[in-house]
Homo-oligomer: A and B are copies of this chain.
Amino acid sequence: MSLTLTSLKNIPIIRQEDSLADIVVDSLQASSIQLHNEDILVLAQKIVSKAEGRTVNLNSVIPSDRAIQIAVEAEKDARLVELMLQESKEVLRVRPGVIIVEHKLGFVCANAGIDHSNVGSPGDDKAEYVLLLPRDPDESARVIRERIKEKTGLTTGVMIIDSHGRAWRNGTVGTCIGLSGLPALVDERGWKDLFGYTLKATIVAVADELAAAASLVMGQAAEGIPAVHVRGFPYPLGEGSLKELIRPKNLDMFR
């Protein structure tokens, strides 16, 4: 049994209103990959955000007093901090260089997932553009998945990933921020182990495991590979949602 992840070739620089489903289907052809039922397509958050017009010109942002105050502590641009506050439910920690928040989407992440890199300044040298996360990444994934189905007749899974830090470990890992047509969690409780004992507590975050795998293939920043084709996902496809992956605040031991 094999799991194979292949980076897609020829993904152009994405602009607002681009159809990612169309671009991915073209790219599969250019990459000589014949799409099958049950395959999964993993997309980097960045291209989804761009297609959805989530680019913001920092020059259009007026920072609040609170943003100015946090910006000093975080050693960040107060306009950028203002956007981070607007995108978040709660600020968990502020340190020089990093603001850890609970994003409006529910997960805990650094800097509200807002990024400078690979955004570019479309036709305006004085503008400073940053990119917000998609408004509803599960819905973004669903729309792309349905359009792929319309174009190809095939039932696939679609996942959107970003790079997240962890509380106690160095380095980022690819993490699911939205999905459609594949499970988020697989609950193995009640399954028997090799010796016939019943497992007590094993819920596996299979979407996050796949996100990490896809991130490895997207790899290096300069190469800009924002889409990955997956074959051999070892669980049946089905509906998952971001919400399942997020620990409810009342069960959070580390806030």
Contacts and interface: CB of A to CB of B under 8 A. Distances in A.
Nearest to A206: B216
Interface stretch (A53-61, A143-151, A192-200): A192-200
Interface string A157-179: 00000010011111111110000
Given A188-B221, A195-B120, A171 B210 contact: no
A124 interface: no
A6 interface: yes
Contacts of A2: 4-7, 217
The contact size tier of chain A is 35 or more
A199 B119 CA distance: 12
Q: Interface on chain A toward B: helix, strand, loop, or mixed SS?
A: loop
Interface in A76-134: 93, 95, 97, 100, 107-108, 116-121
A108 B167 contact: yes
A195 B138 CA distance: 29
Most chain B CB within 10 A, of A2, A13, A170, A221, is at A170
A208 interface: yes
Interface of A: 1-7, 13, 93, 95, 97, 100, 107-108, 116-121, 163, 166-175, 184-185, 188, 191-195, 197, 199-206, 208-213, 215-217, 219-222, 224-225, 233-235, 244-247, 252-255
